[in-house]
Structure 1
């Protein structure tokens, strides 16, 4: 399965603005949290999951999300293909990250906030993998 963007949209009139995503199905979501980086110079990388899935949506500002599909979790190749996505709070786009990927999350604007959904509860399974920021080429 490949990562995909589930497109959101917005509607504005004299009453205000509604930002929505009518195509995002939250069935199976067990946990939700937000991430805020301290600086736009900092990238939160590389962390991922062999079993768990994640869904990301910018609720303030914007983020550049880089993804790498891992081949061997215990000793992955350092030259794997990097996919890049940009999420903005302008529309409620949701990036679905299937199992088997590690992420790098960098805020593009100060005070950006990322909403994260997960399909497993905290501690339900042991499925967190981290690699040094300079591990992948």
Structure 2
């Protein structure tokens, strides 16, 4: 399994407004995307993992804490693993690439936050690869 990777974007501003762009982000693997808008900042979504699916996360409104953890190899119990913590926010153009063999959990830090999630699997493929863990499986920092 590869490591979780932060893909940095760039912001350009002039009298017409601001543009955020990710010219180094290769989207050729992406087959679908969706947006998550939590109802409040106390909700933690996770842990959800995939052995084969890769995902990318982009915060376009507000901010989020995202924790990732390696769940490979499948045959071993991953309970003793330590999650990696990332903070994404609308003012810093960053895409978080989470490799296959990972589980994620996240929560918004501000009301009205919105998270875009990109996937290299169709919904049917993703559902067959879906693994859920109780929230208390790993001690993540929120």
Name the TM-score class by shorter chain: over 0.9
- Cα RMSD for the two superposed structures: 1.5
Pair 1:91–1:70, CA change in 2 (3 A)? same
How many residue pairs match? The answer is 137
Deviation (angstroms), 1:73: 3.9
Q: Distance in 2 between matches of 1:120 and 1:97?
A: 13
Q: Which runs of 5+ in 1 are unaligned?
A: none
Deviation (angstroms), 1:9: 1.8
Deviation (angstroms), 1:91: 3.3
Deviation (angstroms), 1:127: 0.2
- Where does 1:40-119 land on structure 2 (aligned, <5 Å)? 40-73=41-74, 76-119=77-120
Q: Distance in 1 between matches of 2:122 and 2:98?
A: 17
Q: Which among 114, 127, 130 is matched to residue 129 of structure 2? A: 127
- Where does 1:2-21 land on structure 2 (aligned, <5 Å)? 2-21=3-22
Runs of 4+ in 1 over 2 A off after TM superposition: 71-77
Deviation (angstroms), 1:13: 1.2
Q: Which runs of 5+ in 2 are unaligned?
A: none
* TM-score normalised over the length of structure 2: 0.90
| Structure with greater helix percent | 2
* TM-score normalised over the length of structure 1: 0.93
